[in-house]
Structure 1
Amino acid sequence: MPGNDATETRLSELDLDPAVHTWLARETELRSSLPDLTAPDPAVQRAAARRLSDRLAVTFTAEAPAGVAIADAWLPATGGAGLRVRCYRPDGISDPAPAQLFLHGGGFVHGSPDELVNDRLLAARALAAGLVIFSLDYRLAPEHPYPAALSDAVAAWLELTEAADRLRIDPTRIGVGGSSAGGTLAAGTTLALRDRHGLVPAHQALEVPAAAFRPYGRSGELYGDEFGAAAAHAVVPLYLPGGTGRYAEPLDVPDLTGLPPTLIMTAEHDFLRDGAEEYGARLAAAGADVCVLRGAGHLHGTPALTATMAGAREWQENCAAALRDAYHTERSPR
């Protein structure tokens, strides 16, 4: 585990926005009412985690704005199973529109495009960035360990390019993005597309990603179990039972040349912070156009607190502004 009693920061020592303390207290309260969060059955545990996420989002994440059509769609996939995506299309967006494949968070074992927090944040982002966003329902560990989720993401991005006419999107302006575990998958997807298909997304947006699965840098020393480090490390063997995977930990990929413009967003008080920022530095050294933004006062999950925290609204606007710059778009008309 990172750090020790002499070096780790305690949550109580931080000067956090009052909205963060309210969110933390409510999460603790809700967890005590959801014993299935620790159930041995992954499906039961996952359902409890979804209830926790949705109950928090009702209070702490601003409602989805009007002016965005939300609908599920299916993409073909090798083997015939198909891949479900949730599509967020702003009203009035010009065809063919730029698009982003989005990969949700959840530590590789939880999460879904159907979570209320994702609906609310991604609808707002699609409108503010002038993009069509496709959120992928990728396979989860432990039932489907690495590389299942990565394979789904690569296949989905390729299918978006193939189905661009039907989906009314521009095949030359399809990027990839993700938050937390999804940010890690987005980085791996970009690398795998480059190596296996000679293609790269138009852009990659990585929010609070785990660039490596080991403690890294000063943030790995400062922010321990109170900040989710223990839980994060516990899922690694479920997701990566073999211990290694070529694209599982982007920070360990030696060749970072030929990659697209990249946005990396980190939280100040996150044990993953320094690994993600180091990944940005290495991408820049390899020739990529990189923008790294650190959210002051943020914990790993607080960018979702758009109903109660000004800093979360600023985070989302900064992300949308960076996407508008990357895709040369404007905020969609309401």
Structure 2
Amino acid sequence: MSGAKPPLIARIIWKIPLLAGPRLATATAEQLTKQQQKTRAKSGRMTAMTHQRVIDGPGGPITLRIHTPTSGNGAMVVHFHGGGWVSGSPREADFICSTIAEGTGAIVVSVDYRLAPAHPYPAGLEDCYAALVWVSENAAALGGDAARIAVAGESAGGNLAAGVTLLARDRRGPAIRHQALLYPATDATMSAPSHRVNANAPWLTAAGVRNAYHHYLPPGINRTDPGVSPLHATDHRGLPLAAIVVAGHDPLHDDGVWYAERLRQAGVPVDLFDYPRMVHGFANVPGLFSDTALALAELTKAQRRHLPSEQAPSSPHRPPAST
């Protein structure tokens, strides 16, 4: 968090009514469903070759949007888009997926997981895990290396990426070498100070986060369930190396910072990139914010460092030590 003001352009755009659909803070289930239908027709900016593949999932077909870099090295990144678990699509994540593909040389597979409110937790998380398993089992056919798989996601997608690493560790695979989390939601209790300090931040408010959880979580769910709140997992040992990006003017700022600290306490190395003047979602928007290019350059540099061309001698996943 920072005392510096967010960029003027962020404050101006935030005041334009319905610029990108219904405001998350007040969106109803019906509005979200209509917005989901609209996003299906949108196309994004692409710099890597892209194609789609449909696989079987736990609740029906899952569409994968696959970005192949112009110069690949065999690494693979399974990506989960943002949108508060209630909106968004792999098409809308074309910019960031293509940027990661070209910046790392990795094949990026973006997952069109099921969305709430029609499909509340854990539907989306299980879709994401199923997609990870499929990518691991079919890596060679995609031109990739199953020994060098990473995950990435922004906002709700960061939450899903962190959740998938916990599932993969506890279910004994697939192995994940790295996790890239951009302004992730890691604590559904919303108890961190940034939810109060940045309650009315532009682009995402605390009310918006609260409403997203309202639509995503089934009645009676324990908000400290690690699948919902990775921060509250009882053990973070054996999780993949991490790169975490946070924005100063974001209710989720402390979710990312606290998760970085929790991973470090468990012996997991973390690269934390904090942009004090930025707002939630800034790295997803090309050409609008001065820090977007810098953040993605730092992120892809960290990913390249932990997804080397040669196969590592051992799995990144280690079972927690006996106590």
TM range (shorter): 0.7 to 0.9
Q: Indicate yes or no: 2:262 matched with 1:282.
A: yes
- Report deviation, 1:319: 1.2
Aligned residue in 2 for 1:105: 82
Q: Indicate yes or no: 2:259 matched with 1:270.
A: no
Q: Is this contact kept in 1: 2:149–2:177, CA < 8 A?
A: yes
Equivalent in 211, 221, 237 of residue 243 of structure 1: 221
User: In 2, distance between residues paired with 1:90 and 1:186?
Assistant: 22
- Report deviation, 1:177: 0.9
* SS of equivalent residue, structure 1 residue 92: coil
* SS of equivalent residue, structure 1 residue 176: strand
The size of the alignment, in residue pairs, is 301
Equivalent in 156, 160, 163 of residue 185 of structure 1: 160
Aligned residue in 1 for 2:49: 69
Equivalent in 308, 321, 329 of residue 301 of structure 2: 321
Aligned residue in 2 for 1:45: 35
The residue type equivalent to 2:293 in the other structure is R
- Report deviation, 1:45: 3.5
* SS of equivalent residue, structure 2 residue 236: coil
- Report deviation, 1:78: 5.0
Q: Is this contact kept in 2: 1:39–1:45, CA < 8 A?
A: no
Q: Indicate yes or no: 2:195 matched with 1:206.
A: no
The superposition leaves residues 63-116 of structure 1 with CA deviations (integer Å, 9 ceiling, x where unpaired) of 433xx211111234457x33211000012324xx1001000000011111122x
Misfit runs of 4+, over 3 Å: 31-34, 37-40, 76-79
- Report deviation, 1:273: 1.1
Q: Is this contact kept in 2: 1:216–1:275, CA < 8 A?
A: no
CA RMSD of aligned residues (A): 2.7
Q: Is this contact kept in 1: 2:21–2:35, CA < 8 A?
A: no
- Report sequence identity in percent: 30
User: In 1, distance between residues paired with 2:21 and 2:94?
Assistant: 26
Unaligned runs of 5+ in 2: 310-323
Q: Is this contact kept in 1: 2:136–2:174, CA < 8 A?
A: no
Q: Is this contact kept in 2: 1:265–1:293, CA < 8 A?
A: yes
Unaligned runs of 5+ in 1: 1-7, 58-62, 330-334
Q: Is this contact kept in 2: 1:266–1:273, CA < 8 A?
A: yes
User: In 1, distance between residues paired with 2:174 and 2:21?
Assistant: 47
User: In 2, distance between residues paired with 1:122 and 1:88?
Assistant: 7
- Report deviation, 1:39: 5.6
Aligned residue in 1 for 2:61: 82
Q: Is this contact kept in 2: 1:104–1:111, CA < 8 A?
A: yes
Equivalent in 158, 166, 169 of residue 144 of structure 2: 169
Residues 1:261 and 1:223: Cα distance change in structure 2 (over 3 Å): same
- Report deviation, 1:28: 3.1
What TM-score do you get using the length of structure 2 for normalisation?
0.85
* SS of equivalent residue, structure 2 residue 171: helix
The superposition leaves residues 247-269 of structure 1 with CA deviations (integer Å, 9 ceiling, x where unpaired) of 11001111111111111111111
Residues 1:192 and 1:163: Cα distance change in structure 2 (over 3 Å): same
What TM-score do you get using the length of structure 1 for normalisation?
0.82
User: In 2, distance between residues paired with 1:295 and 1:312?
Assistant: 10
The residue type equivalent to 2:86 in the other structure is V
The residue type equivalent to 1:90 in the other structure is P
